[in-house]
Each structure stands twice: as structure tokens, then as C-alpha cells.
Amino acid sequence: MDIALPVMGGLGLFLYGMNLMGTGLQKAAGDRLKKLIEVLTNNRLMGVIVGTVVTMIIQSSSATTVMVVGFVNAGLMTLPQAVGVIMGANIGTTITAQLIAFNLTDYAPLAVAIGVGIWIATSRKRAKNMAEILIGFGILFIGMDMMGSGLKPLADVPVFTNIMISLKNPVLGMLVGLGLTAIVQSSSASIGLLQALAGQGLVGMDVAFPILFGENIGTTTTALLSSVGANRTAKRAATIHFLFNLIGTILFMTILRAPIEALITRISPFDVKRQIANAHTLFNLINVAIQLPFASLLVKIVQAIVPGDDKLEAQEAKFLDPRIIETPSIALGQVKKEILRMGSFAIDNLNKVQLAFVEGKYSNVDVILEQEQKINRLQREITDYLVMLSNAPISDEEHKRVNIFFNIISDIERVADHAENIAELAIERKENEFPFTDQAVDELHEIFDKVNEAFKQSLGAFETNDESLAKGVLRLEDEVDILERQNRANHIDRLNKGQCLTGSGIIFLDAISNLERVADHSSNIALYVLDKNKTSPKNI
């Protein structure tokens, strides 16, 4: 227990510190991380750079690869694009081992103290993000020191010494590294443990090298597990990660081990921790350099291993995948795309219901009702996703955006409900053969056009964050209110003069009442853009 407790506690602190530091870096990066992903093109070298930088920020190649699987599953990234990002993720993850090799343990308590001091003293978000980075950095090294202290007595345990001797067998060492990383689900943590052993003089490079190779294969298990239940293309992305590291391990075990081991020993002859860090970095750099030119071949091999149609399996939400929540700033961008997609269905329903109700093109009604069900399912899926996102480590500003998104999807769903109400009025008009006067038809077209324009502009303002467009929606909503009152008065006048049937008058008034409420919900969306939504949104 004297060994196990410090090692397990130290490993726990290491993982927590790494996670906290990564969270702080993500918050500090914010929307810049999202923009970084968006610059991704079919250029594989750019993909490698993006994968490297993103992994350095979020401090986990597994998290990056899982996120890539999520993008591929959602159809937002092609398999050739994914190859470069996955390769880059392997390079980015080496930064943790390089940090550990600097032996900054003596400064760890100071980093925690400064970080906590900043956290307590300030309310500024940027400063708090920096405080999280410092606290995570300090806890990581405290965990490393605790692991090292716990492992030190193993030098006097004959059983452990015999085990270390047996691990000089490269195949056995590789399997141990693979198993260890598969268990802790973090190559950085298992490499940190290996560096802790090296720091106590318990392992040399002859033992560490094959374990290191195995750890690079073990880290792929996270993405492989995350691809369970995903579409075939996502499974292929996870398999590419596995094959990439497996091929690299075989190359290093058979051909490159001796020259690379000689090189890193020459660079850092007396520092095994630095040798492990350099070996990890060189393994991934050289592996990318060798395999990147053959990325297309790698894709073909994986397509043969995971055969079948590349089409996405049917799913209501196109842009959402729980794996992407690993990077909340990007997940928020995906939610926005899904909300705009939901809004496009509502716009289509408004256009179709105008044709059905005013012009008697009743064939549109079935499409409207079917699409209304799709909108309802999308609302549920987006809501569930936002709930998960709100429980992720996100900033106050991101929490505010989540709350706004909750309100906007509610408004869009209510717009679709009002379109459905008018569709049902169209059915009633058809079944009872209620006619409209020419004046009523002109009034309906005018108010429909105005309402449709207001709703389209509100979604446009939401998409582009355009305040002038949002203000235009508020003006249109005022015009719709005036039209609704005028049309109501005009139609009551026609009823009094006996120019139309009572049934026609009732459904006319119901229709313009629903349209006025659509304009109110459009106004709500505009107010969210103007950040005035909490004052007086019209809840209909």
C-alpha cells in the first residue's frame, strides 16, 4: 500500500491537472479554436498542422481523434481530411512528455499558488482562464512528483527488478505499454508514469522504448470505442488512427529503433526522462513524414477493412455528435448550424402554407405536417445536446449562448406550430369550401409576405450576428401588427356587409392571428441577437 497509494494518487492528480490545464487552454482559445478547425481543407499538410495545434490546446490526442470521429460521423469532415488531423494529433500529444522532461516539480506549488491567487482576486474571464492553466500545470507536476516518490521503493523489490529485465523483450514491452494505455485511456498519463519510473532510475531506454511503442497503439482504443454505433466512415476514421500507429510501431520495432535510439541517447546522454520525451516526439514526427505521402493508400486499406456504403445513416440532426462536446466552442458552432437547419424547415413550411391556405394548393398540407414532426424531433435532439453541453466545462459567455440557443429553438418550434395551425385551417377551408374575396386574398398575401420576410431576416441576423438586420425585423414586426389590425377591421366590415361567409371570416381571422404570432417569435429571435431578449420577449 505504501507504493500503490502514492502512485494511484499521483496518477489521479496528473490526469486531473492535465484535464484542468486543457480546459483552461480551451476556454482561452474560445472561438479561435472553432476558426482553426474551419480553415481545414483537403490539403493534408494543413490537416496535420490543425491536428497538432488543436491537440496541444486540448492536451489529448484521444480527445482530438474522438472529435474527428464525431465530425466524420456528422458528415462535416471527409475521410481524407480526417487522416491529416489524426496524424497531427499524434504530434500534438508529445508536448506533455516534453513539459514533464523539464523537471519543473520545484515550481509546481508556486504555479498552483499564483493560479489560485489570480482565481480568487479577479472576476475577469481571461484571467480566470489563465489561472486554470497555471493550477492545472502545477497539479500535473505535483502528481508526477507523487508518482515518483511512490515508485522509488520498487528499486529494492526483486520481483519488480525481474519484471523490468523481462520487459527488455521488445514484444512483451510493447504489449505492456499497449495494455497500460488502454486501461488509463491516456497516452500522456502512461508516458508520464514511464517518465516517473525513469526519474527514479528504475527503467532505461532499452526497456522504455518498446513500452513507448505499445503506448502509441494503446491510445487508439479510445477512438475505436467511440466509433461503436457511429457510421461506417467514422469507424474508418478510428481504424485509420489504429493502423497509422500500428504501422509506425512495426517500422520502429524492425528498422528504425537502433538509429533513433542512438540519436536520442546522443542528444540527451544522461537524462532518461528527456530521452523518453524525445523518443515519443521523434516517433510521431517520423511516422507522419513516412506515412503522410501514402495517406490515400491508407484510406483505401481502411475502406477494404470496413467495407460498405459511405452514405450517412439516417439521423434527424445532421451536425450534432456527442463526441464534439469534448471541444465546447466547436460544439456550439455545430448547434448553431443545426438551429439554422431547423429554421430552414420552418421557412419552407411558411412558404408552403401560404400556397395551401391562400391559393388552395392543398397538396402542400401533408408535406407541412410531416415536416412539422421533423422540426419537433430536431427540437428534442438539439435540446438534449444543449443540456449535455451546458454540463461541460464551458465559460460564462458560452453558458449565455447555450441559454439563447434554448430560447431560439423554442421560438422556431412555435413558428412551425403556427404554420401547422394555418395548415389545419387550410384543410377546414377545403372541406367546407369556404371562399375568400379578392380583397381578402390580397390582404393575406401581403401579411404572409411580410411575416415570411421577418422570419427569414431574424434567422439571417442570428446566423451573421447582424444587428442592423435584427433591427429591421423589429420594424417588420411593427408593420405586421398594424396589418393584422387593419385586416381584422376590414374583414369584420366585409362580414357586416354580407360580402363573405361567416366560416370564411372565422378562419381568415384565425390565420392572421397565427401570422401575427409568427412575427412576434421572429422579433424574439432578433431581440436575442441584440441581447435584449431577457427584457420582454413575447411568449405565445
User: How sure is the predictor about 183, in pLDDT bands with cuts at 50, 70 and 90?
Assistant: confident
Share of the chain above pLDDT 70, in %: 91
H or E segment to which residue 366 belongs: helix 364-390
- 393 φ/ψ sector (left φ>0, alpha ψ -120 to 50, else beta): beta
Instruction: Count other Cβ atoms within 10 Å, centred on residue 204.
Output: 15
The domains of the chain are located at 4-305, 322-529
The number of angstroms, rounded, from the C-alpha of 522 to the middle of its chain's C-alpha atoms is 28
Question: Coil, strand, or helix at residue 414?
Answer: helix
The answer to whether the CB of 272 falls within 8 A of the CB of 212 is no
Examine the pLDDT at 20 and tell me if it is beyond 90.
no
| Whole-number Å distance between alpha carbons of 10 and 52 | 27
User: How sure is the predictor about 343, in pLDDT bands with cuts at 50, 70 and 90?
Assistant: very high
User: How sure is the predictor about 381, in pLDDT bands with cuts at 50, 70 and 90?
Assistant: very high
Average pLDDT, the chain: 84
CA atoms within 13 A on the CB side of 15: 14
SS (HEC) of 122-139: CCCHHHHHHHHHHHHHHH
| Whole-number Å distance between alpha carbons of 296 and 410 | 44
Q: What pLDDT was estimated at residue 313?
A: 46
| Whole-number Å distance between alpha carbons of 133 and 108 | 12
Q: Which residues contact 400 (CB under 8 A, 6 or more apart)?
A: none
Q: What pLDDT was estimated at residue 504?
A: 78
User: How sure is the predictor about 173, in pLDDT bands with cuts at 50, 70 and 90?
Assistant: confident
Q: What pLDDT was estimated at residue 517?
A: 94
Which cell is 163 given?
Answer: 519484471
| Whole-number Å distance between alpha carbons of 10 and 479 | 66
User: How sure is the predictor about 325, in pLDDT bands with cuts at 50, 70 and 90?
Assistant: confident
Taking residues 116-138, what's their average pLDDT? 87
Highest mean pLDDT out of 28-32, 148-152, 155-159, 329-333: 329-333
| Whole-number Å distance between alpha carbons of 293 and 163 | 40
Examine the pLDDT at 131 and tell me if it is beyond 70.
yes
Examine the pLDDT at 314 and tell me if it is beyond 70.
no
Inter-CA distances, 242 with 66, 88, 217, 219, Å: 12, 14, 6, 8
Among the ranges given (178-192, 308-322, 458-472, 514-528), the one the predictor scored with the smallest mean pLDDT: 308-322
Taking residues 133-157, what's their average pLDDT? 81
| Burial environment of residue 367 by CB neighbours within 10 A (0 to 12, 13 to 18, 19 or more) | middle
The answer to whether the CB of 429 falls within 8 A of the CB of 356 is no
Examine the pLDDT at 181 and tell me if it is beyond 60.
yes
Q: What angle do CA 52, 56, 58 make, to 5 degrees?
A: 115
3-state percent breakdown (helix, strand, coil) of the chain, nearest 5? 80, 0, 20
Among the ranges given (240-249, 449-458, 492-501), the one the predictor scored with the smallest mean pLDDT: 492-501
The number of angstroms, rounded, from the C-alpha of 391 to the middle of its chain's C-alpha atoms is 13
The answer to whether the CB of 513 falls within 8 A of the CB of 483 is no
Among the ranges given (218-227, 256-265, 270-279, 344-353), the one the predictor scored with the smallest mean pLDDT: 218-227
DSSP state of 254: I
pLDDT in tens, 426-445: 888 888 888 888 888 888 89
Q: Which residues contact 428 (CB under 8 A, 6 or more apart)?
A: 434, 507
| Whole-number Å distance between alpha carbons of 325 and 310 | 24
* Angle, helices 187-199/170-184, rounded to nearest 10 degrees: 120
- 103 φ/ψ sector (left φ>0, alpha ψ -120 to 50, else beta): left
| Whole-number Å distance between alpha carbons of 274 and 279 | 8
User: How sure is the predictor about 161, in pLDDT bands with cuts at 50, 70 and 90?
Assistant: low
Taking residues 166-170, what's their average pLDDT? 77
| Whole-number Å distance between alpha carbons of 318 and 320 | 6
Place of cell 441576423: 461
The answer to whether the CB of 324 falls within 8 A of the CB of 71 is yes
Taking residues 207-225, what's their average pLDDT? 85
pLDDT in tens, 55-96: 887 777 777 787 787 777 766 677 888 888 889 988 988 888
Examine the pLDDT at 149 and tell me if it is beyond 70.
yes
Taking residues 144-173, what's their average pLDDT? 75
CA neighbor of 95 nearest in space, from 40, 49, 57, 139: 57
Fold of 322-529: Methane Monooxygenase Hydroxylase; Chain G, domain 1 (1.20.58)
Its pTM stands at 0.69
Q: What pLDDT was estimated at residue 525?
A: 94
Q: Which residues contact 325 (CB under 8 A, 6 or more apart)?
A: 331, 385, 388, 389, 392
